[in-house]
């Protein structure tokens, strides 16, 4: 890419004709005990169309329990296509709580919940070797609690003192192992629809505000911007929507991921 040295960009090492990009999309709309997520079918349609336009074959699954979600993730992580792919997208849409994503049998935050941790474990370098060193983009559209994400603020006289950075700490005297070690978890970039404990908003007609804005930013900028740059654009689009703010979390990408390097 003309904007960055090649050592700082994830390789797209196969031509479009032979690479086999795959994406996983799980969306829960109907639940046994929770309200129906009207408008979510629009999100599925828009995200599928976006990902197909980016060159991914999308595996779509709807209305799964947490255990069924785990099974589908395991099946998807085992696909041979990842060997001849350069990346993946993992999209989850459902009701949610602080700890995770609701399955269709969920009654509260303790029953039928897919832990967010399980997503990362399923696709880390131990459990999905075919995607080692390749970008894994996680998109989560779900509430993370019941709080509205805005507050009345006043200027404080005593701003908090910033904590000291641990950057200066070094680990010395390590020797090379004969076996090459890799990080257990790496190359993830994640964007969640809201900050912890807060709700995410959805229109029954137009779908989720987060998915609408994510699709819009990717459509407008994927040809020239890397994924995390587009994540920031999505976040900035919520600047005046004070009841919700998407957040980047658990991101371990060491390079920039351009969907269309050139």
Tell me whether residue 102 is one of the annotated catalytic residues: no
Q: What is the DSSP letter of 83?
A: G
What SS3 state is found at 89?
strand
Tell me whether residue 143 is one of the annotated catalytic residues: yes
Q: What distance in Å separates the CA atoms of residue 223 and residue 53, rounded to the nearest whole number?
A: 11
- Residues written for the chain: 262
pLDDT for the residue 86: 96
Q: What domains appear along the chain, each with residue ranges and CATH number?
A: 22-146+182-249 (3.40.50.1460)
112 — alpha (psi -120 to 50), left (phi > 0) or beta?
left
pLDDT for the residue 165: 39
Each residue's pLDDT expressed in tens, for the chain with a length of 262 residues: 555 566 899 998 788 889 999 999 999 999 999 999 999 999 999 999 999 999 999 999 999 999 999 999 999 999 999 999 999 999 999 999 988 999 999 998 889 999 999 999 999 999 999 999 999 999 999 988 887 665 544 443 444 444 443 333 333 444 444 455 788 999 999 999 998 888 889 999 999 999 999 999 999 999 999 999 999 999 999 999 888 999 999 999 999 999 986 4
Active-site pick, 27, 95, 97, 102? 95
Active-site pick, 27, 102, 128, 143? 143
pLDDT for the residue 196: 84
pLDDT for the residue 214: 98
pLDDT for the residue 65: 98
Decide if 242 contacts 149 (C-beta within 8 A).
Answer: yes
What residues contact residue 119 under an 8 Å CB cut-off, 6+ apart?
73, 90, 92, 138
Angle at the Cα of 226 from the Cα atoms of 221 and 230, rounded to 5 degrees:
55
Helices 209-221, 40-53: axis angle to 10 degrees equals 20
pLDDT for the residue 48: 98
Q: What is the DSSP string of 26-43?
A: EE----SSSPP-TTHHHH
What residues contact residue 248 under an 8 Å CB cut-off, 6+ apart?
189, 190, 191, 192, 228, 231, 232, 235
Backbone CA torsion sign across 128, 141, 247, 1: positive
């Amino acid at each position: 890419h003309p904007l960055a040295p090649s050592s700082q960009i994830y390789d797209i090492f196969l031509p479009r004709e032979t690479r086999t990009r795959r994406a996983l999309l799980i969306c829960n709309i109907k639940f046994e005990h929770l309200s129906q997520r009207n408008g979510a079918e629009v999100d599925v349609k828009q995200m599928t169309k976006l990902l197909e336009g980016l060159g991914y074959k999308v595996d779509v699954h709807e209305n799964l329990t947490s255990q069924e979600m785990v099974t589908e993730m395991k099946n998807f992580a085992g696909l041979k296509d990842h060997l001849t792919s350069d990346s993946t997208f993992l999209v989850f849409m459902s009701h949610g709580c602080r700890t995770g994503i609701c399955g269709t049998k969920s009654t509260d935050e303790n029953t039928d919940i897919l832990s967010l941790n399980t997503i990362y474990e399923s696709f880390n370098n131990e459990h999905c070797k075919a995607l080692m060193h390749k970008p894994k983009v996680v998109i989560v559209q779900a509430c993370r609690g019941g709080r509205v994400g805005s507050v009345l603020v006043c200027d404080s006289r005593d701003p908090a003192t910033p904590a000291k950075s641990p950057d200066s700490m070094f680990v010395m005297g390590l020797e090379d192992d004969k076996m090459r070690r890799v990080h257990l978890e790496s190359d993830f970039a994640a964007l969640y629809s809201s900050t912890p404990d807060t709700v995410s908003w959805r229109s029954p007609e137009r779908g989720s505000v987060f998915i609408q804005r994510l699709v819009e930013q990717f459509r407008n900028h994927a040809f020239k911007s890397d994924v995390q740059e587009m994540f920031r654009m999505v976040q900035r689009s919520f600047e005046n929507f004070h009841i919700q703010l998407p957040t980047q979390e658990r991101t371990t990408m060491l390079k920039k991921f351009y969907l269309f390097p050139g």
